[in-house]
A and B are shown apart, each in its own frame.
Chain A
Amino acid sequence: MNFFKPALILSFAFLAVFGEAMLPAPRSLLGAQIDLLPALMVYAALNADIVTLALLAVCGGLWFDSLSANPLGVSIVPLFVVGFPVFLHRELILRTAPFAQFTLGAAASAVSPALVILILLNGGKEPLIGWGSLWQWLVLTVSGGLAAPVIFALGDWCGHALGYKLRTEMSFRSDREIRHGKILK
């Protein structure tokens, strides 16, 4: 089994969560911290197997919750919920089209935080929500949509640069070779 792609996706998720917790710039500039995990789930759903997708949802959710005040495990289901339907219908999706990538990234980034909030409210927690949350939701959606094509390009580039190369078939076949001249016996 080729572990390169799962390792690459999980490493990117780890760094993305750390970056979100480390860099205050998006929050200062836009009033909201951007989240790359939903867009990464879309990438994994379209380019990796189901095991990688499940691992990304579990590990990404755990890492996110461990650095946040969220109860541990709350982010796992929303991440899997946005990735699983995309995985099931991946043959019908134009995965190389940037518009499709943007749309899926934006939709995933809109659904995932809404589900987390819903789970938190259902669990009796009091997250900080108000009218300003609509703006934050918009920022999350648009930034997730914009991040998706970048993640796809980055993932493809890393795959080509560091992954196993595809074995190309040669047109030459020795059994079909036309030999000229006298056949020596």
Chain B
Amino acid sequence: MFKQQNYLALGAVVLVVVVLLSLPSRATSRLKLAVGSWFLPLFGLAGAAQQLPADLADSVLPRRELLKQIDSLRRENQQLKEQQAQMVAIARENDQLRGLLGWQKNVPWQLKLANVVLRDPANWWRTVQIDLGSRDGIQTNMPVLSAEGFLVGRVAAVSFLNSQVVLIGDPNCRVSALVENPGHDVGVLSATDPVDRSLVQLGYLSSSANLKSGQNVFTSGLGGVFPKGIPIGKIYDARPVEYGLATEARVKLNANLGALEQVWVLIK
């Protein structure tokens, strides 16, 4: 049953694992990115295959429909330009008032649109990979928002072409969150049930926290990773824990983490 060849194979596998697990973390992450890059040609093929039905649909769209869409987009563009002009004026006023009060100026954030190219194949992590990497100026710990502007996570690892984003609800993505209520309660978002991706746990709340379902939850700006005021979700329910010494709540996320296709990366 146990031939010499079997012993050799067993030994080789054990040796490979021991070498891999004992490598320094930097070398491991480089090796991981190198192995992951084997899949790059398939990303391109899959992207092209996904794009093909949309291109076909566009090519058979009637001219009248296209003109209608152009007209609608022009109107929307005009409205957005007006809103942007207002926002610029408000930002300028805000900077002036901050200057008068001697507060630090707000650093403007830039947004970069990225496509979600794949999801974590393991059920015990919540990560996705996006098609922006260090060549696009992406760095670790940059906040990531959904296409609608809701918080979805942060950049965890960056390679030249791709980046790994760890999503809210993963044990490695903890977010300091502020509840929009009279008490301005602050807690920390952490992992919850592995199956339901729309709910996350909000812990470390004081026992006097006055939480009601439907209250909005935003980033608090504490911790230095996420800027203040990014919408996260709404309070779903709350209950006292630790014999009434603390409160714990569940937050229904605004972003649909299971259907992410495009995300914004906030670049300072």
Contacts and interface: CB of A to CB of B under 8 A. Distances in A.
A157 interface: no
Contacts of B126: 128
Contact of A33 (B9, B36, B121, B127): B121
Interface string B49-65: 00000000000000000
B48 interface: no
A35 B5 CA distance: 29
A63 B258 CA distance: 22
A128 B39 contact: no
Interface stretch (A94-102, A131-139, A161-169, A177-185): A131-139
Interface stretch (B83-91, B102-110, B192-200, B234-242): B192-200
Contact of B122 (A69, A80, A126): A69
Nearest to A137: B123
B32 interface: yes
Given A22-B118, A132-B196, A69 B164 contact: yes
A57 B13 contact: yes
A167 B53 CA distance: 46
B17 A50 contact: no
A110 interface: no
Contacts, number: 152
Nearest to A68: B122
B38 A63 contact: yes
Contact of B124 (A31, A66, A127): A127
Given A67-B118, A69-B164, A135-B195, A18 B17 contact: no
Contact of A73 (B6, B20, B193): B20
Interface in A76-97: 76-77, 80, 84, 87-89
A70 B157 CA distance: 13
Nearest to B14: A77
B6 A50 contact: yes
Interface string B192-216: 1111100000000000000000000
B194 A133 contact: yes
Interface string B238-258: 000000000000000000001
A160 interface: no
B123 A113 contact: yes
B158 interface: no
Give the interface size class of chain A.
Answer: 35 or more
A73 B16 contact: yes
B194 A21 contact: no
A28 to B, nearest CB: 5
Given A65-B32, A67-B121, A127-B124, A53 B9 contact: yes
Contact of A76 (B17, B46, B259): B17
B136 interface: no
A21 B35 contact: no
B124 A133 contact: yes
Of B35, B42, B123, B194, most A-chain CB atoms within 10 Å: B123
Contacts of A142: none
A181 to B, nearest CB: 55
Given A22-B118, A54-B13, A62 B35 contact: yes
Given A77-B13, A136-B194, A72 B31 contact: yes
Interface string B147-178: 00000000010000000101001111000000
Interface of A: 14, 17-18, 20-22, 24, 27-28, 31-33, 35, 50-51, 53-54, 57-58, 62-74, 76-77, 80, 84, 87-89, 113, 116-117, 120, 126-133, 135-136, 140
17 contacts: A24-B258, A28-B258, A50-B5, A64-B122, A66-B33, A67-B36, A67-B120, A70-B122, A74-B21, A77-B17, A84-B10, A88-B1, A126-B172, A127-B122, A130-B191, A130-B193, A133-B194
Given A22-B42, A67-B121, A126-B191, 5 more contacts: A21-B120, A51-B9, A67-B120, A70-B125, A76-B20
